[in-house]
A and B are shown apart, each in its own frame.
Chain A
Amino acid sequence: MTAVVNVSRRGFLKGAGVATGGLVLGVSVPALDAFGQQVAPAQPGRLNTFVQIDPDGTVTITLTHAEMGQGVQTALPMIVAEELDADWTKVKVVRASAIPVDGMEPAAMGTGGSRSVRANFEPLSQAGAIARHMLLQAAANRWAVPVGECTAQDGVVSHGSGRSASFGDLARGASYLTPPQTVPLKAPSQRRLVGKPVNRLDAPEKAAGTAVFGIDVKVPDMLVGTVVHCPVWGGTLKALDPAPAMAVKGVTRVVPLEASFMVIGTGYWPAHKGAQALKPQWDLGDNAKNSSEKIDAALEAALKKTGAVVVDRGDAGSTAKLVKKKVTATYKAPFLHQATMEPMNATAWWHDGKLEIWAPVQDAGRERYSVAEAFNLRPENVNIHVTYLGGGFGRRIGLGFLRPAVEASKAVGRPVKVIWSREEDMTHGMMRPVAAARLIAGVSADGTPLTWDNRLVVPSVSAQLAPSRVRGGVDEISVHGADELQYAIPNQRLEYAMPDAGAPLGFWRSVPHSYNAFFIESFIDEIAAAAGKDPVQLRRDLLFRNPRHLEVLERAAKESGWGTPPGARRGRGIAVHESFGSICAHVVELSMPGDTTIKLDRITSVIDCGMAVNPRTIEAQIEGGMVFGLTAAMYGRIDVKDGGAVQKNFDTYRMVHMAHLPPVAVHIIEGGEMGGIGEPGVPPIAPALANAIFAASGKRIRTLPLADSGIDFA
């Protein structure tokens, strides 16, 4: 149960960016970091989210989660406003501060794992309902009528006698009341805002160009710098002559670091030009010989050996005699970069033993601690102001992109904004690892898969970022999406190995689901083809234990016109995959005008996210996730050469454009437990596309990106 505390009469909220004068309630939302781990238990007193009603009627909600495009800045206030019965046009958001307020710990700032709306729904609903109850009580007290006779709608409390008062008018009176422990929430049928398509609150400033992203931060007396890392991961800086950079107009300082250097000046261009003028001497180290070939050889070697056993179910031995056919395939997926549209940047100001940071971070709560630890500061002396994020996708987690700005400010004693060039961002990020899987299925005489044997090989993200999540040689972040097979196949085995890649690894929108869905949903199609079954029919036969998945499949088949003849040189491909508590299917319908050229004709998407807070955002997230996955499926690939990344910018790390996209229809299924929406649209698109190419051409592609097999848009 959520504790809601009346903090109207405490003066501390100015520090949290909230002015007082009306009713202010504090809520404690369970604090999860971007890994989904509980940072601190929810306790009364550890407030981290505030709902305020001002005398002028404005309803302000503090936002602890980062807005990176996924729409939390609209969905979270909708949840409060629904139960509050607020006037939506008077609702606004302010960003929460990362520093503790009055000794209370605002730690629920992790944004990742498609989790923000799910974690906040109950606490924010309670906060809204309790605030409404207090406003009703204030009106009842004023009019000397029973509270049960008062009703609220659109920011106004009314009584049958014809009296009414606005929330703003009642806010002060309500601020003296004690909040009730709990208030019953609305039944879904009573909702007026949640579940309805609502336009984003941040839309106007983003269209006007006034939204402030990290790269736009301006602090008085600020300098601008840029960073250049050793081209080899793990290499270090040996020597650097700053003179050529100092000769560039506007350059004020060159700061050498252990494995990188920074050039600082009056603007980005002088800093960049200065950096380009330098001839650093690097100690490239042992990793300089690393290459894609070497990494691929390590994957191949691991594929030949028995790995750590993750799943071993059934008794394959006793079914062996029923198996009439074996289907075997090996799949591969490359390194990928998140390539957020806004390159990495952060602004830092180290002064008087305190550190202030302005940055587009996904998890300010956690980063406050990581920065404090790295720079030997007390966490209470580190404050992070979160800006808009020009995309997150898992890239804006961790200390890596904050550190240069802190080092720069420490060195020059002034605020410094450090902007990474696109090239530095792309070559010194945290990549989605390469992955490979060898799958073997045993199929009965009537075409039923009886055994499923998956040997998965993926270098471990956790080993680099969260070592405690590697247990018994298994990184749970690598195997999700493969460990609980949605299909009812009696004998299942999953083995896993994590060879070292000699490359920095991290999160990438949907993380392991991105490759596991490609492997599994391609292979199930291969089994269907080998068994002479329709791909939807085989899935249907195997989904009887998962009614939600089955409903998603059936809906996708129906909406896409599955089963109607697609026409010559045309095909449809389907894939269904669960991730982050939601189930998503895509059906790709395409033509192949040439042997290797494709034209997408239509994409049908179905998402079961249990409960839809803002369908307009859900459609956008599923379609956007699909485009993100489509880009990776077609083109995405980072190669390794001489110990570093080959692709450095959008000329070689190619993107899907508007002209490539067909009409997309997103269908939403509700009725279960709430799931995420930021990531589930990504995983099923690559297999749906590969399956469609197979349907149209008979060509089965098992390695991503498809461009490596010569596939391109017509």
Chain B
Amino acid sequence: MAYSIKVNGAQYDVDADGDTPLLWVLRDNLGLTGTKYGCGIGQCGACSVHADGAVARSCSVSLESATGMEIRTIEGLGSGGQHKLQAAWVAEDVSQCGYCQTGQIMAAAALLANGAKPTDAEIDAAMSNICRCGTYNRIKAAIKRASAQA
């Protein structure tokens, strides 16, 4: 049956099984490939999106349960990659392979919502996404750079 979900402000009808993870709906049905598959079991955070403003691991959210939520993906974060976190990511030269980084940015964006200025410890606690290339310290620097901006 078809489900209706709202992603980046637009409503989509998706014809897929209700148990399909939101991750694969975004990638295969809606073509939003900025959200990545890393583990499929909620461990890595590569698939991070926002669901009603909170960070969610889209591999662990079913299509059925995503109906009625406001979903935001990296494509809808800032127009044309211009969100202050994306600018900070470029300025701090964070990405290596880059595969984990959209998920990292979405997790960081939820942390910085409402103008929060997290401490190092709060950043550590909030950022549990895996980066196999080991960019963690630059990610932290980029989050601090972005949060220092009003």
A: residues with CB less than 8 A from B are 68-71, 199-200, 202-213, 215-216, 218, 224, 249-250, 266-270, 273, 339-343, 388-393, 419, 421-422, 616, 620-621, 623-628, 630-631, 649-651, 655-659, 661, 663-664
**Given A343-B38, A657-B130, A661-B136, residue A624 in contact with residue B86 (CB < 8 A):** no
Rounded to whole Å, the gap between the CB of A217 and the closest CB of chain B is 9
Contact indicator B93/A199 (Cβ below 8 Å): yes
Contact indicator B90/A249 (Cβ below 8 Å): no
CA distance A625 to B89 in the complex (A): 20
Contact indicator A68/B97 (Cβ below 8 Å): yes
Contact indicator A204/B81 (Cβ below 8 Å): yes
Contact indicator B89/A203 (Cβ below 8 Å): yes
> Counting CB contacts under 8 A, is B70 at the interface?
no
**Interface residues in B, total, Cβ within 8 A:** 60
**Given A341-B44, A649-B41, residue A269 in contact with residue B24 (CB < 8 A):** yes
Q: Which residues of A contact B19 (CB under 8 A)?
A: 273
Chain A proximity mask over B57-83: 1 for CB below 8 Å, otherwise 0:
000000000000000011100001100
- Which residue of chain B lies nearest to A663 when distances are taken between CB atoms in the complex? B137
Q: Which residues of B contact A205 (CB under 8 A)?
A: 81
**Given A266-B28, A268-B37, A659-B125, residue A650 in contact with residue B43 (CB < 8 A):** yes
Contact indicator B125/A341 (Cβ below 8 Å): no
Contact indicator A211/B127 (Cβ below 8 Å): no
Interface residues of B in 97-127 (CB under 8 A from A): 97-102, 105, 123-125, 127
- Which residue of chain B lies nearest to A417 when distances are taken between CB atoms in the complex? B28
Rounded to whole Å, the gap between the CB of A456 and the closest CB of chain B is 28
> Counting CB contacts under 8 A, is B53 at the interface?
no
Give the contacting residue for B130; candidates A270, A341, A421, A623; CB below 8 A: A341
Rounded to whole Å, the gap between the CB of B139 and the closest CB of chain A is 7
CA distance A71 to B100 in the complex (A): 16
B: residues with CB less than 8 A from A are 16-17, 19-21, 24, 27-29, 31, 33-41, 43-44, 46, 73-75, 80-81, 85-87, 89-91, 93-102, 105, 123-125, 127-128, 130-140
**Given A69-B98, A623-B137, A628-B134, residue A390 in contact with residue B16 (CB < 8 A):** no
CA distance A636 to B28 in the complex (A): 32
Give the contacting residue for A273; candidates B17, B36, B85; CB below 8 A: B17
Q: Which residues of B contact A389 (CB under 8 A)?
A: 97
Give the contacting residue for B34; candidates A208, A218, A250, A628; CB below 8 A: A208
**Given A341-B130, A422-B40, A616-B93, residue A216 in contact with residue B135 (CB < 8 A):** no
List 17 additional A-B contacts (Cβ < 8 Å) besides A340-B97, A659-B127. A199-B91, A203-B89, A203-B94, A203-B95, A207-B95, A208-B34, A208-B86, A209-B33, A210-B81, A215-B36, A267-B28, A339-B132, A390-B36, A391-B132, A650-B130, A659-B128, A664-B137
Contact indicator A341/B136 (Cβ below 8 Å): no
Rounded to whole Å, the gap between the CB of A648 and the closest CB of chain B is 9
Rounded to whole Å, the gap between the CB of A447 and the closest CB of chain B is 37
Contact indicator B132/A340 (Cβ below 8 Å): yes
**Given A224-B28, A341-B133, residue A216 in contact with residue B33 (CB < 8 A):** yes
Rounded to whole Å, the gap between the CB of A422 and the closest CB of chain B is 5
CA distance A388 to B36 in the complex (A): 13
Q: Which residues of B contact A208 (CB under 8 A)?
A: 34, 74, 80-81, 86
CA distance A481 to B134 in the complex (A): 24
CA distance A565 to B83 in the complex (A): 46
Rounded to whole Å, the gap between the CB of A358 and the closest CB of chain B is 13
Q: Which residues of A contact B138 (CB under 8 A)?
A: 620
Q: Which residues of B contact A211 (CB under 8 A)?
A: 98
